[in-house]
Amino acid sequence: MVPSCYVHIPFCDSICSYCDFVRVQKNEMFFSNWKEQLIQEIQEYKIHDLHTLYFGGGTPSLLSVNDFSEIRNYFPASIDEFTVECNPESLSDEKLRLYESLGVNRISLGVQSFKDELLQVCNRRHTVSQAVSVIEKIKKSSISTFSIDLIFGLPNQTMEDVKHDISMFLSLDIPHLSIYSLQIEENSVFGKTGIEPIDSDLEADMFEYITKTLEEAGYIHYEISSFCKPGHHSRHNLAYWQDQDFYGIGCGASGRINGIRYDNTTNLKEYCLKGSCPTYISETLLERSMDAIMMALRTKFGLNILAWNERYQSDFRLKYASVLSKYAAYFEYSENHIYLNDAGLEILNTILVDFMMIE
Ligand code: SF4
C-alpha cells in the first residue's frame, strides 16, 4: 500500500517575491480543464486507503467550496492526517467549516512574517492582523492541529524582527512551525531583481536564536526546518523522510511508487491537454539508499538501520564505519535507529558529503 498522497494545486492570487514553486495566477480559462485532468489522475490510482493526504500549492485555500468538495470526494473518507495549505486572505469562515466537515485535521498556514513591512517586501496579500485573526479562528475550530510557515533572512530584516516573529509565534501558542531561511531563487522576483542574500553570520545567528528560544519554550526541533509541541509533528512529511512511497498528483507534483520517483509535468498547458505526463527518474540502488540516508538524517527520528539494511541489501554500520567514527560525537543511537544531535544537524551537509564519498 502507498500510505501518503500529495496533491498540487498550482493556482495563486498573486506571485510572492521569493517564490519559484510551480504556480500560476488563477486563470479561469485553464481551471475547468485542469480540474478534469486532476480528477482523472486521482481515479487512475484507485486509492482505497491512505494514512496521510496533503493538498499543497500554490494556494489550495483558493479552491471554491464546491471545487474543494468535489476533488476531496475522490479520496477515501477516513484519513489519519489530512493537511491543507492555506493563505490567511483566502481561508474564509465558510472554508474553515467546510474543511472541518470533510475530515481536514491539519492546516498549514503561510504567515511568513509578523511585520507588515516585510509582508509587503514579499508581495504577500495579507496583513499581520488578518493572519492573527485566522490563527485565532483555527484554534477555535475542531481542526486538531496546525502549523505556520515563517521566513527569516528577508531583505533588511533585522535580528529584532526575528525576535518579534518568534515572540508572536509563542504568544499565539501555535503547535507547529516550519521556518526557512530565504533562498534567492533565480526565477523568483527577488532573483530577477538582484536582491542579495543577507550576511551569512547574521543568518546563522538568527537560526541559533530561533532554535534556542523554541527549544527553551518546549518545542521539539524534529527536522532541520520544523519545530513542534510533543505529538504535533507532520506525519505526512515523515513519509518523505522515512523512505516511504507516496502518490504525487497534479501539475507540478512529484511522487514515488515502488521506490521509483516521478515528476509530473510542470507545464499547466500541457497538463490541461495531456494529463500528468510523468517523467520517471532512473536511480541506482546506491542512489536510492543514499537518498534514504539523506532524508532520514534531517530528522530527530533518524534512520532505521535494520530496515535500511534489509531494503538495500547492505550493512550500514560496516559500510559507513569510517564516517560513523569520524563524526562519532555527532551521532546518537536508540534501538535500531541512528540520528544526529543538534550539533550534528548544524553540520548535516558536511557529514552527508562524507557519506556520499563511499560507494
Ligand atoms: S509562496 Fe505560496 S502563495 Fe506565494 S506565490 Fe508561491 S505558492 Fe503562491
Query: What confidence tens digit (pLDDT) does each residue in 220-256 have?
Result: 999 999 999 999 999 999 999 999 999 999 999 999 9
Q: How far is the CA of 328 from the centre of ligand 1 (A)?
A: 40
| Residue of the CA atom closest to atom 6 of ligand 1 | 19
Indicate the pLDDT class of residue 22, thresholds 50, 70 and 90.
Answer: confident
Task: Please compute, for residue 136, the number of CA atoms within 13 A of its CA located in the half-sphere on the CB side.
Answer: 8
| Pairing outcome for strands 81-86 and 52-57 | parallel
User: Does residue 23's CB lie within 6 angstroms of at least one atom of ligand 1?
Assistant: yes
CATH topology of domain 4-239: pyruvate-formate lyase- activating enzyme (3.80.30)
User: Does residue 15's CB lie within 6 angstroms of at least one atom of ligand 1?
Assistant: yes
Residue type present at position 244:
Q
Q: Grid coordinates 518568534 are at which residue?
A: 166
Sorted by where each begins, the domain ranges of the chain are 4-239, 285-359
Contact (Cβ atoms closer than 8 angstroms) between residue 54 and residue 46: no
Substitution site in 9, 11, 12 for ligand 1 pocket (most atoms within 8 Å of beta carbon) = 12
Q: How far is the CA of 340 from the centre of ligand 1 (A)?
A: 32
Query: What confidence tens digit (pLDDT) does each residue in 291-349 have?
Result: 999 999 999 999 999 999 999 999 999 999 999 999 999 999 998 999 999 899 989 99
User: Does residue 59's CB lie within 6 angstroms of at least one atom of ligand 1?
Assistant: yes
- Ligand 1 atom at minimal distance to the Cα of residue 14: 5
| Residue of the CA atom closest to atom 4 of ligand 1 | 16
At how many degrees (to 10) do helices 93-101 and 128-140 cross?
30
113: left (phi > 0), else alpha (psi -120 to 50), else beta?
beta
Q: How far is the CA of 15 from the centre of ligand 1 (A)?
A: 6
User: Does residue 57's CB lie within 6 angstroms of at least one atom of ligand 1?
Assistant: yes
Q: How far is the CA of 23 from the centre of ligand 1 (A)?
A: 7
The pLDDT, as a whole number, for residue 24 is: 85
User: Does residue 12's CB lie within 6 angstroms of at least one atom of ligand 1?
Assistant: yes
| Residue of the CA atom closest to atom 7 of ligand 1 | 58
Q: How far is the CA of 209 from the centre of ligand 1 (A)?
A: 26
| Pairing outcome for strands 260-263 and 279-281 | antiparallel
CATH number among 3.40.50, 2.30.240, 1.10.10, 3.30.70, domain 285-359: 1.10.10
Mean pLDDT estimate for the chain: 96
Query: What confidence tens digit (pLDDT) does each residue in 122-152 have?
Result: 999 999 999 999 999 999 999 999 999 999 9
User: Does residue 8's CB lie within 6 angstroms of at least one atom of ligand 1?
Assistant: no
Q: How far is the CA of 59 from the centre of ligand 1 (A)?
A: 7
